[in-house]
Amino acid sequence: MNRPYNFSAGPAAIPEEVLKTAAAEMLDWHGSGMGVMEMSHRGKEFISIYEKAESDFRELMAVPSEFKILFMQGGGLAENAIVPLNLSRGATVDFVVTGSWSQKSRKEAAKYAAEVHTAASGEDSHFTTLPDPATWQLSRGASYVHACTNETIHGVEFQQLPDLKALGCDAPLAIDFSSHVASRPVDWSRVGLAFGGAQKNLGPAGLTLVVVREDLLGHALPACPSAFDYKVVADNQSMFNTPPTWGIYIAGLTFQWLKEQREGHATGVAAMELRNAAKAKALYDFIDTSDFYVNKVAANCRSRMNIPFFLNDESRNDAFLAGAKASGLLQLKGHKSVGGMRASLYNAMPMAGVEALIAYMREFAQKHS
Ligand SMILES: *Cc1c(COP(=O)(O)O)cnc(C)c1O
């Protein structure tokens, strides 16, 4: 049985091997007589799952030892509050607004930070470009600078992380990498904190991953809930409260799958980066040479993960989606705020899925031109 290709923006496709392993271990994990969902988070079985997931992620993403890896709950939206509760220290927070997600982050942070300052915005271009870091108006004495490094809805992605130090800014950079975590390497020398919900590229909804530099811990505002105080979470190895055990287990299986991926001599996340670049290029190249479809994002900031596109004749949208579904291509409808279509090409999407999408798009265009 061939499963359809699932282009959902999130919760999104999970590698089939991961789902099969989870299914096989559902009733009895490694002879323990228990499924993972039924285990104490403090028992030796689950501790071994947690420790392997943590060390595999550290290895895959080359996370330096001065960073803590936290497994939390609440998703990206909760982090929009948790980050300022932990990092804002009563000072201004700078925001780089590049699409819907960073807009939401700024709005939420304004509840907790003394002041939020928009250092740069792509709004004038309807979020089809990323403001050049050289033009950012960073505040003196900001507690941190927030950026969303892949805007899932507008389809813009930083191809390189900004170097704040080179811009004369000492504040740490906090990134929302929910929708491209583990799709490419991260230059940790430029980052103070990174957060992401798992349901795009790592596993099921309900798990939130936070990678935070040690020196940023211990400064939470008094009102910060203990379960969301990064220092409390770090000091308790993510077990101050019951962590999302199932999410950690599935993410751990995904990390093992990632470690096995190869492209030429590259392995792991480096292999994923090559594969993701090739997948995205294939689809953008097809869209750009077609006069039936269009993507409006500037070429140098196009996302490899989320590719919004439009039919030039939008009256055919429903027919396009129905035909796609009948061809085994699922969840291509664009976000309601942008409209049109969106193909999300996360790690679990193979090149064959992208080729099948392009073949369908070509055929649909020929039939309706
Ligand atoms: C999906 C997403 C979120 C929101 O995550 P929730 O788990 O729904 O809170 C935040 N930021 C980005 C960039 C996302 O893609």
Does 148 contact ligand 1 (Cβ within 6 A)? yes
Query: From residue 198, how far is each of 185, 206, 219, 335 by CA, in Å?
Result: 17, 7, 26, 19
| Average pLDDT over every residue of 123-141 | 97
Per-residue pLDDT at 2 exceeds 90: no
User: Per-residue pLDDT tens for 211-246?
Assistant: 999 999 999 999 999 999 999 999 999 999 999 999
Q: Is 257 a catalytic residue?
A: no
Does 152 contact ligand 1 (Cβ within 6 A)? yes
pLDDT of residue 369: 87
Per-residue pLDDT at 1 exceeds 70: no
157: which strand partners?
150
pLDDT of residue 12: 98
Question: Of the listed 68, 101, 136, 231, which one is catalytic?
Answer: 101
Q: Which fold has domain 265-368?
A: Aspartate Aminotransferase, domain 1 (3.90.1150)
**Is this model's pTM higher than 0.75 or not?**
yes
Q: State the average pLDDT for the chain.
A: 97
What distance in Å separates the CA atoms of residue 75 and residue 198, rounded to the nearest whole number?
A: 8
| Average pLDDT over every residue of 5-16 | 98
Does 252 contact ligand 1 (Cβ within 6 A)? no
pLDDT of residue 87: 98
Buried b (16+ CB within 10 A) or exposed e, 207-239: bbbbbbbeebbebbeeebeeebbbbbbbeebbe
User: Per-residue pLDDT tens for 35-75?
Assistant: 999 999 999 999 999 999 999 999 999 999 999 999 999 99
Beta strands in 48-91 (DSSP E): 67-72
Q: Which residues line the annotated binding site for L-glutamate? A: 42
| Average pLDDT over every residue of 78-106 | 97
Does 82 contact ligand 1 (Cβ within 6 A)? no
pLDDT of residue 323: 98
User: Per-residue pLDDT tens for 250-303?
Assistant: 999 999 999 999 999 999 999 999 999 999 999 999 999 999 999 999 999 999
Q: Which fold has domain 17-258?
A: Aspartate Aminotransferase; domain 2 (3.40.640)
Per-residue pLDDT at 119 exceeds 70: yes
Beta strands in 107-256 (DSSP E): 115-121, 144-148, 150-151, 156-157, 173-176, 193-197, 208-213
User: 14: pLDDT confidence band, cut at 50, 70 and 90?
Assistant: very high
pLDDT of residue 136: 98
Q: Phi and psi dihedrals of 341, rounded to 5?
A: -120, 160
Q: Which residues have C-beta within 8 Å of that of residue 152, sequence separation ≥ 6? A: 9, 10, 99, 100, 101, 178, 179, 200, 303, 305, 306, 335, 344
Percent with pLDDT over 70 in the chain: 100
What distance in Å separates the CA atoms of residue 17 and residue 8, rounded to the nearest whole number?
A: 18
Question: Of the listed 200, 231, 279, 333, which one is catalytic?
Answer: 200
- Domain boundaries in the chain? 17-258, 265-368
Radius of gyration of the chain (CA): 21
Per-residue pLDDT at 163 exceeds 90: yes
Question: Of the listed 56, 94, 176, 229, which one is catalytic?
Answer: 176
What distance in Å separates the CA atoms of residue 259 and residue 272, rounded to the nearest whole number?
A: 10
